[in-house]
Amino acid sequence: MNYIGIKPNNVEKTATQLNKLLSNYHVYYQNLRNYHWNISGEHFFDLHEKFEELYNEAKVNIDEIAERILTLRKKPTSTLKEYLEEADIKEMPTLDSNEMVKNIIQNHAQLIDNMRNVIECAGEANDEGTIDMVGGFLASVEKKSWMLDAWLAKS
Ligand SMILES: [Fe+2]
């Protein structure tokens, strides 16, 4: 049953972009865990906590994206192998705190780019549900980037 009233052909491009976003988010999530665990030095307490806050938000968004793909009657990508192959975001090495924050801002730029592509495809399909969901993620990632950039400015 076509319960959302969007033509299957119009869903295809959006689902492809959502699956890319799912892949990007998984690699981003693991980058944050890496940094949460391996941060050391004078910024340990603030960044250890900040990275945890960010990966917890990523975890929630990951589930929302996968379930939106299912709502659109498509299959969410589900293996780490596929995530690594399909993501624009790459696994990051452990670095000093400033480089970690710069890398996370860079990851955010890649997520933002991917999210704008999702919104563009969803707009063509009048898929307001996807636009609303991803629009919320987008504003939050943009705000987090501003905060991380402000943190960098102090050092
Ligand atoms: Fe922890």
pLDDT, tens digit (0-9, with 9 covering 90-100), for 16-75? 999 999 999 999 999 999 999 999 999 999 999 999 999 999 999 999 999 999 999 999
* pTM for the structure as a whole: 0.95
Q: Name the token pair of 118.
A: 């999702």
Q: Is residue 1 part of a domain?
A: no
Q: Interhelix angle for 128-153 vs 8-38, to 10°?
A: 30
DSSP for 49-67, written as a single string: HHHHHHHHHHHHHHHHHHH
CA of 37 to the centre of ligand 1 (A): 7
The domain tally of the chain equals 1
115 within domain boundaries:
yes
Residue 144 lies in a domain: yes
Quick count: other Cβ atoms within 10 Å of Cβ 140? 13
CATH code, 140: 1.20.1260.10
Residue 37 maps to a domain: yes
> 49 C-alpha vs ligand 1 centroid, how far in Å?
8
The CA 102 to ligand 1 mean position distance, Å, reads 21
Nearest to 67 by CA among 79, 55, 75: 75
Q: How far is the CA of 146 from the centre of ligand 1 (A)?
A: 24
What pLDDT, in 10s, does the model give residues 65-76?
Answer: 999 999 999 999
The range of the structural domain enclosing residue 20 comes to 8-153
Tell me whether residue 2 is in a domain. no
